[in-house]
């Protein structure tokens, strides 16, 4: 530009060459388009720690709020004792869990030890633990589908039962 104004009788037309800029921006755009769907994700699940063989299990009291989702070999679901559809259509289970959690929220059914922990948000204090029990011969994919539905209903944490599986 400076050159033009010194030399020129003709009027200089100053313009910025944007082509390389656009080149680079397009490449960046494509990179991000390719990379974005690759975000890794996972289900967090709790597993029981190794049992102490000398521990006296008779002293443990069962928690009345415990929710156990059982998957049977023929892909039927059970929530505690009630039948809840099948693996391929877990909407009944999700619905039931959601209403259960809502009910607990209304009744202030807190987790053990969190009854007075008012510094923690109300939502996290409600007992929403769900255990999953599935037979060993089942396909992993089916189990994950059920965990997906349970997680979608708002359960947290999700626990996997690993002892005494059929």
Distance (Å, whole) CA 148 – CA 130: 12
Question: By the 8 A CB rule, do 77 and 71 touch?
Answer: yes
Distance CA 73, CA 41 (A): 28
Strand 130-133: give its sheet, edge to edge.
82-86, 76-79, 67-71, 130-133, 158-160
Of 21-29, 56-64, 74-82, 83-91, the window that binds another protein (rule: CB under 8 A) is 21-29
**Contact predicate 77/146, CB 8 Å:** yes
> Closest CB to another protein among 84 and 138?
138
* Nearest 10 degrees: Cα torsion 37, 40, 45, 48: 160
| Contact stretch for another protein (CB under 8 A) within 3-11, 19-27, 79-87, 113-121 | 19-27
69 touches another protein by CB under 8 A: no
Only one of the segments 32-40, 75-83, 85-93, 108-116 lies at the binding site for another protein (rule: CB under 8 A); that segment is 32-40
Is 121 a binding residue for another protein by CB under 8 A? The answer is: no
Please give the Cα distance from 79 to 66 (Å, whole number): 10
Question: What is the CA 23 to chain-centroid distance, rounded?
Answer: 39
Nearer to another protein, 37 or 64 (CB): 37
Considering only 1-9, 42-50, 59-67, 109-117, which stretch makes contact with another protein by CB under 8 A? 42-50
Cβ 136 to another protein, closest distance in Å? 3
Residue numbers of the site for another protein (CB under 8 A)?
20, 23-24, 27-28, 31-32, 35, 37-50, 98, 101, 134-145, 147-148, 151-154, 160, 162, 165
């Amino acid at each position: 530009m400076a050159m033009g104004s010194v030399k020129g009788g003709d009027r200089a037309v100053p313009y910025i060459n944007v082509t390389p800029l656009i080149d680079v921006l397009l490449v960046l755009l494509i990179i991000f388009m390719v990379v974005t769907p690759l975000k890794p994700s996972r289900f967090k699940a709790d597993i029981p720690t190794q049992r102490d063989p000398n521990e006296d299990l008779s002293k443990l009291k069962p928690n009345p709020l415990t929710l156990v989702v059982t998957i049977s070999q023929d892909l039927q679901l059970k929530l505690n004792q009630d039948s809840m559809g099948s693996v391929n259509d877990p909407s009944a289970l999700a619905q039931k869990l959601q209403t259960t959690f809502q009910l607990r929220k209304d009744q202030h059914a807190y987790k053990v030890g969190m009854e007075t922990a008012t510094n923690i948000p109300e939502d996290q204090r409600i007992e929403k633990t769900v255990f999953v029990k599935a037979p060993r011969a089942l396909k992993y994919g089916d189990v994950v589908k059920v965990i997906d539905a349970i997680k979608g209903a708002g359960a947290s944490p999700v626990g996997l039962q690993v002892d005494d599986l059929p």
